[in-house]
C-alpha cells in the first residue's frame, strides 16, 4: 500500500504492475487489458458514496479496537479532505488506478501516508462496491420520488383547472365516450403513484448493508456490521455474505421500476404528440417545447414529447442488459458485474 501510484511506462519498457495488487506480478497488464479492465470513467460517479462507506468503516475499525485510534483519526481527516476535493472538483483522478475505490485509497495514502493502508482492513472491493452502488441507487430513488411527486402535483393542478373541459375518450383510438380533460390527466397521477410505490418497495429491499462480507466469506476481524449498517442508514447488515457481494437485484429492481415508469411517460408523450397534431388540434404546445422547420412554416414539432417517448428504449435496454449480464454468473463476484453501472447510471439520468 505504501507504494506510489503506478506511473505509465516509458516506451519500450515493460508496463509496471498495479501498485494496489501487483506486488507479486513481475510486469503490468497489456495496454488492451488495462483498457478493458479500467472502470474509472464510469464509477467515478460513486466517489461520494465510496468516501461515505469508508468513513463508516474506519469509524467502526476504531471503535472495535481493530485499528489504533490515532490511525483512524488521520484516515477520517484524510477522507474529509478527499470529500472537499471531490466537492471542489480538484480531486486528482488517475485512470491508471483502475477504479474509484483504488483512486480514493491511493489519494488517501498520498495525504496521510502508511496509515491509509489500514482502512482496507476487514474489507474487500467486493463488499465496498456493493455498498457504494446501493447507496447511489438509494439516493437516485429518493430524487426520482421527489420528481414524480412534483409531476403528480403539476398534473393535479392542471386537472383541477380543466375539470370541466370536455374531450373525447378513446378506445382503439376511436372516439368512444365524452370525458373531461381533468379526468384524463388524473389517470396519469394514478400511474405515477404506482411507480412511486414500486420505487419505494425497491428502496426498502435494497436498504441492507453488504459491508463486512469482505471478498465473499466475511472476515476473522471482530467487526461490528450493525454499527456500519446504522452509520450508513441501512436497516440491517445483509444476512448472507455470499449474497452480499453477488447480488445486483437492487439495481435490476430499480431498472424494472424505471422501465415501467418510462413506459408511462412514453404513453403520455405519445398522447401529447397526437393532441398537438393538425388532425387532433386538442392542445398547442408552447414555443419553449416545440421546434420548427425551415421549409414547412406550418410545422410545430413536439420534439420534447418525442424524445421523452424514446427514452424508454435506453431504460428498458439497461434493464434487459443487466439481467443478461447477471443470469449466467456463478456465485459470488465476477468481473462481469463491473458492467452493472454504466447502463444503470444512464437509465437514471
Report the catalytic residues: 172, 293
Grouping H, G, I as helix, E, B as strand and the rest as coil, residue 320 is helix
- Interaction between residue 250 and ligand ARG (CB under 6 A): no
Q: Give dist(CA 126, CA 333) in Å, integer.
A: 7
DSSP 174: E
Closest CB 46 distance from ligand ARG, rounded Å: 8
Per-position DSSP letters for 218-245, written without gaps between them: --SS---HHHHHHHTT-SEE-S-HHHHH
CB of 337 to ligand ARG, least distance (A): 5
Q: What is the rounded distance in angstroms from the CA atom of residue 46 to the CA atom of residue 103?
A: 11
Residue 11 grid cell: 516506451
177-213: buried (b, 16+ CB within 10 Å) or exposed (e) per residue?
eeebbbebbbebbebbeebbebbeebbeebbbbbbbb
Residue in 140, 338, 343, 344 binding ligand ARG, rule: CB under 6 A: 338
Nearer to ligand ARG, 234 or 333 (CB): 333
Q: Which residue's CB is nearer to ligand ARG, number 270 or number 346?
A: 346
Q: Does 126 bind ligand ARG (CB under 6 A)?
A: yes
Q: Which residue, 43 or 105, is less far from ligand ARG as judged by CB? A: 43
Q: With respect to ligand ARG, which residue has the nearer C-beta, 39 or 152?
A: 39
Task: Report, in Å, the least distance between residue 125 CB and ligand ARG.
Answer: 4
Options 18, 43, 209, 247; binder of ligand ARG; rule CB under 6 A:
43
Phi-psi domain of 158 (left: phi exceeds 0; alpha: psi -120 through 50; beta: other): alpha
Which region among 5-13, 123-131, 222-230, 254-262 touches ligand ARG (by CB under 6 A)? 123-131
Instruction: Tell me if residue 213 falls in helix, strand or coil.
Output: coil
Residue 140, all three cell numbers: 437516485
Contacts of 25 by beta carbon, 8 Å cutoff, 6+ apart: 17, 18
User: Among residues 129, 137, 244, 258, which is the contact residue for ligand ARG, using CB under 6 A?
Assistant: 129
Range in contact with ligand ARG (rule: CB under 6 A) among 2-10, 68-76, 121-129, 155-163: 121-129
Binding characters for ligand ARG, 81-120, by CB under 6 A (x = yes): ------------------x-x-------------------
Interface contacts to ligand ARG, rule CB under 6 A: 39, 43, 99, 101, 125-126, 129, 333, 335, 337-338
Amino acid at each position: 500500500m505504501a507504494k506510489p501510484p503506478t506511473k505509465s511506462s516509458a516506451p519500450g519498457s515493460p508496463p509496471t504492475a498495479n501498485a494496489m495488487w501487483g506486488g507479486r506480478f513481475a510486469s503490468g497488464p497489456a495496454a488492451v487489458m488495462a483498457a478493458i479492465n479500467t472502470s474509472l470513467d464510469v464509477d467515478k460517479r460513486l466517489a461520494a458514496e465510496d468516501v461515505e462507506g469508508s468513513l463508516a468503516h474506519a469509524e467502526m475499525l476504531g471503535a472495535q479496537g481493530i485499528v489504533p485510534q490515532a490511525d483512524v483519526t488521520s484516515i477520517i481527516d484524510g477522507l474529509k479532505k478527499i470529500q472537499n476535493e471531490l466537492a471542489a472538483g480538484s480531486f486528482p483522478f488517475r485512470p491508471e488506478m483502475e477504479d474509484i475505490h483504488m483512486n480514493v485509497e491511493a489519494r488517501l495514502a498520498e495525504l496521510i501516508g502508511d496509515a491509509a493502508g489500514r482502512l482496507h482492513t476487514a474489507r474487500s472491493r467486493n463488499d465496498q462496491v456493493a455498498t457504494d452502488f446501493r447507496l447511489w441507487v438509494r439516493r437516485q430513488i429518493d430524487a426520482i420520488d421527489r420528481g414524480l411527486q412534483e409531476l403528480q402535483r403539476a398534473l393535479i393542478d392542471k386537472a383541477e383547472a380543466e375539470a370541466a373541459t370536455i374531450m373525447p375518450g378513446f378506445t382503439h383510438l376511436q372516439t368512444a365516450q365524452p370525458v373531461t380533460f381533468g379526468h384524463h390527466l388524473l389517470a396519469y397521477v394514478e400511474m405515477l403513484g404506482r411507480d412511486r410505490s414500486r420505487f419505494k418497495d425497491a428502496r426498502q429491499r435494497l436498504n441492507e448493508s453488504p459491508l463486512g462480507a469482505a471478498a465473499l466469506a466475511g472476515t476473522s476481524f471482530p467487526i461490528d456490521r450493525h454499527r456500519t449498517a446504522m452509520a450508513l442508514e441501512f436497516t440491517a447488515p445483509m444476512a448472507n455474505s455470499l449474497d452480499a457481494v453477488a447480488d445486483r437485484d437492487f439495481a435490476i429492481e430499480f431498472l424494472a421500476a424505471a422501465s415501467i415508469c418510462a413506459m408511462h411517460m412514453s404513453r403520455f408523450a405519445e398522447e401529447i404528440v397526437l393532441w398537438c397534431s393538425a388532425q387532433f388540434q386538442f392542445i398547442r404546445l408552447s414555443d419553449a417545447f416545440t421546434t420548427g422547420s425551415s421549409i414547412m412554416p406550418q410545422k410545430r414539432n413536439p420534439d420534447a414529447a418525442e424524445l421523452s417517448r424514446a427514452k424508454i428504449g435506453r431504460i428498458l435496454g439497461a434493464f434487459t442488459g443487466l439481467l443478461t449480464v447477471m443470469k449466467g454468473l456463478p456465485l459470488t463476484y465476477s468481473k462481469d458485474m463491473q458492467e452493472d453501472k454504466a447502463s444503470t447510471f444512464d437509465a437514471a439520468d
